Amino acid sequence: MAFEKYFPEILRELLKNIEKIPTYGERGASRLVYNFLKLPKEERLRIANLMMKASESIITCSECGIVSDMDPCRICSDEGRNRRYICVVEESSDAYAIEKLERYKGVYHVLWGRISPLEGISPEDLNIPKLLERVEKNQAKEVILATNPNVEGEATANYLYKLLKRKFPNLTISRVSFGLSFGGFIEFTDSLSLEKSIENRKKL
């Protein structure tokens, strides 16, 4: 094809690989790459170097599943955290968004996703067995379900509620209240709304 004759091979490879990142797709990958290439060369090299360092040093906490540079992560290693309160989130970015508020003093549990039949993601694909293990080991008092306020997040919260209630009948299970708009994402929610949603969580 004439297009392939003129289009740089390295760009084709870069776009093809960035498309593999969840939620990007062809259009998102194209926007990211071309905006990246508009930056001064020094900035591009600095970002590329940081990406290399992150790829080599960032790991997943074996306890809570959050991305970190140490295992256990800094939150799980903090003796001042109340391990009897476990806040369940879909992704590490959600946990860090809540942590940024500096109000919640429990620990987190990252599911690494949410139940989504359309995407072929079932409960078996999520970090659920470790959650059950931690609830028992920590003698958890409350599990806070802080999945996103959308169809998939609600389905995931509902599944976890039924599973946890069956296995731990005396466990308090709560859901973050939705001053958060339905269809939104926790990581993009403004601090005030997020703080209120945690503080005003509803017991299920």
CA distances from 119 to 15, 125, 180 (A): 22, 11, 24
Residue range 97-109: average pLDDT?
95
Angle at 126 between CA 123 and CA 132, to 5 degrees: 85
Query: Does pLDDT of 179 surpass 70?
Result: no
- The structural domain count of the chain equals 2
Tens of pLDDT, residues 31-51: 999 999 999 999 999 999 999
CATH for 79: 3.40.1360.10
Identity of residue 111:
L
CATH for 36: 1.10.8.420
The H or E element containing residue 68 is strand 67-68
Same domain for 191 and 137:
yes
Q: Which domain holds residue 17?
A: 2-57
What does the mean pLDDT of the chain come to?
92
Same domain for 98 and 70:
yes
Position of tokens 């946990």? 95
Q: Given this model, what pLDDT does residue 184 score? A: 60
Position of tokens 């903090």? 78
Cα–Cα dist 108/111, whole Å: 10
Give the model's confidence band at 6: pLDDT under 50 very low, under 70 low, under 90 confident, else very high: confident
Same domain for 110 and 32:
no
Q: Write down which residue in 39, 57, 75 finishes a domain.
A: 57
Same domain for 181 and 129:
yes
Rounded to two decimals, the pTM is 0.87
Residue range 178-192: average pLDDT?
68
Tens of pLDDT, residues 17-33: 999 988 788 899 999 99
Residue range 162-185: average pLDDT?
84
CA distances from 83 to 106, 133, 143, 164, 195 (A): 6, 13, 10, 17, 20
Residue range 78-103: average pLDDT?
96
Q: Given this model, what pLDDT does residue 2 score? A: 59
Alpha helices in the chain (DSSP H): 2-6, 9-18, 25-38, 41-57, 74-77, 92-99, 128-137, 151-167, 191-199
Six-digit token string for 122: 């079932």
Contact (CB, 8 A) for 103 and 97: no
Same domain for 192 and 140:
yes
Tens of pLDDT, residues 114-169: 999 988 899 999 999 999 999 999 999 999 999 998 999 999 999 999 999 999 99
Residue range 71-94: average pLDDT?
97
